[in-house]
C-alpha cells in the first residue's frame, strides 16, 4: 500500500511559514529552513496560531493524503483538515457501505468492544493489577451482539479507576485527561486518514451515530487502540492540566509503539492502516475482523 510510506508526524509549536517546493514541505522559522518529502508525512499538528500556509500546499496535503490538525489558544487540538475522496472507487464503496446489514454491524461492534476490553486488561496486567485485569477478561466474555448490555461502560469504570485512582473521572479537568484527549486525537487523525484512503464514508459509523459527527466510523475504530494511549499517559508526570512540549512529543511518539496485528508486529501508525483495510473487507465482504494486540 503506497500510503504506508508516510511515517512522520510533525508538531509545529512556534511561528512559521509553510510552503510547497518540488514535492517538499518547506518550513521557514526566522533564519531556519527545513525541507521534508511530502510522501513521508502522515500528520501535521499546528500548535501556534502564527503559522501561514499557501493554498498550493493545502492542495499538496490533499494529494499526499496528509492530515492537518489545528489547535486553539490553549494548544488543544480543535480542528482537522482531511483529504476528500481518497479512493478511486469511492462511489462504489460508499454504496456497499450504506447497504451493510444491521446484523453485520452488530457482530463487528461486538468484536471491537471485546478487543478493546481485552487490551485494557492487558494494560492492567502490565502494571501488576492482576485481579482487576482478570475481571476485565471475564467482562469481555459477556459482550453480546452490539454490546446490548453496555459492558463497555462497566469495563471502563473499573479500568480507569484502577489505572489512575478511585476518584478519577473522565470529565475531570486534570493532566491525565488532557494527555488522554491529546493522545486520542493523534490516533483519531491517523484513523481518519486511513478511512478516507480506504474509500469508506467516515461519517457512517456502525455504532456511533451523531448527525454532528463527521467521523463517526473513525470513532468506532479507535476503540481497540485507546489503551495504547492510556499506557503512554501513565509514563508522563504532569502537575497541572496543561501539557508540556515533551508530553506532546511523547504522545506523538506513541505512534511508533509496537502493535501486533494478524500475527505481525507494526508501528502503531502502520497497524492502523492494516486494521482499517481489514475492517473494510470485514464490513463489505466476508473477511474476519482481526484482533489488535499490544506488544509485551
| Average pLDDT of span 233-252 | 91
Q: Which domains does the chain have, with CATH numbers?
A: 2-81 (3.100.10.20), 90-294 (1.20.120.920)
Distance CA 128, CA 124 (A): 6
- For the CA atoms of 218, 220, 243, 10, the dihedral, rounded to the nearest 10 degrees, stands at -30
Rounded to 5 degrees, what are φ and ψ at 202?
-65, -20
- Of residues 232, 233, 296, the one with CA closest to residue 265: 296
Distance CA 39, CA 14 (A): 23
* pLDDT for position 3: 42
Nine-digit cell at 106?
452488530
Nine-digit cell at 13?
509549536
Distance CA 228, CA 124 (A): 12
pTM of the model: 0.91
pLDDT band for position 244 (cuts 50, 70, 90) = very high
Is 208 annotated among the ligand-binding residues? yes
Instruction: Check: CB of residue 13 under 8 Å from CB of residue 275.
Output: no
Nine-digit cell at 94?
460508499
How do residues 103-152 score in pLDDT, each as one tens digit? Answer: 999 999 999 999 999 999 999 999 999 999 999 999 999 999 999 999 99
**Distance, CA of 261 to chain centre:** 16
Q: What is the DSSP letter of 38?
A: G
- Of residues 295, 291, 160, 173, the one with CA closest to residue 233: 160
How do residues 70-94 score in pLDDT, each as one tens digit? Answer: 999 888 899 999 877 566 687 899 9
Amino acid at each position: 500500500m503506497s500510503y504506508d510510506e508516510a511515517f512522520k508526524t510533525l508538531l509545529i509549536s512556534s511561528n512559521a511559514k509553510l510552503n510547497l517546493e518540488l514535492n517538499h514541505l518547506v518550513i521557514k522559522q526566522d533564519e531556519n529552513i527545513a525541507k521534508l518529502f511530502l510522501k513521508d508525512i502522515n500528520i501535521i499538528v499546528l500548535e501556534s496560531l502564527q503559522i501561514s500556509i499557501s493554498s498550493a500546499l493545502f492542495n499538496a496535503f490533499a494529494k499526499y493524503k496528509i492530515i492537518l490538525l489545528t489547535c486553539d489558544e490553549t494548544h488543544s487540538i480543535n480542528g482537522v483538515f482531511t483529504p476528500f475522496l481518497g479512493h478511486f472507487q469511492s462511489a462504489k464503496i460508499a454504496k456497499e457501505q450504506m447497504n451493510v446489514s444491521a446484523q453485520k454491524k452488530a457482530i463487528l461492534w461486538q468484536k471491537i468492544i471485546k478487543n478493546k476490553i481485552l487490551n485494557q486488561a492487558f494494560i492492567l496486567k502490565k502494571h501488576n493489577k492482576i485481579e482487576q485485569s482478570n475481571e476485565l477478561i471475564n467482562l469481555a466474555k459477556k459482550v453480546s451482539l452490539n454490546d446490548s448490555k453496555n459492558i463497555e461502560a462497566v469495563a471502563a469504570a473499573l479500568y480507569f479507576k484502577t489505572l489512575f485512582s478511585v476518584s478519577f473521572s473522565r470529565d475531570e479537568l486534570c493532566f491525565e485527561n488532557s494527555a488522554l484527549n491529546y493522545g486520542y486525537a493523534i490516533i483519531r487523525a491517523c484513523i481518519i486518514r486511513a478511512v478516507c484512503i480506504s474509500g469508506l464514508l467516515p461519517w457512517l459509523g456502525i455504532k456511533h451515530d451523531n448527525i454532528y459527527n463527521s467521523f463517526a466510523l473513525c470513532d468506532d475504530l479507535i476503540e481497540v487502540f485507546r489503551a495504547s494511549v492510556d499506557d503512554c499517559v501513565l509514563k508522563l508526570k504532569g502537575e497541572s492540566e496543561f501539557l508540556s512540549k515533551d508530553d506532546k512529543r511523547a504522545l506523538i511518539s506513541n505512534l511508533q509503539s509496537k502493535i501486533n496485528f494478524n500475527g505481525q508486529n507494526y508501528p502503531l501508525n502502520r497497524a492502523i492502516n492494516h486494521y482499517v483495510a481489514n475492517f473494510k473487507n470485514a464490513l463489505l465482504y466476508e473477511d474476519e475482523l482481526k484482533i489488535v494486540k499490544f506488544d509485551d
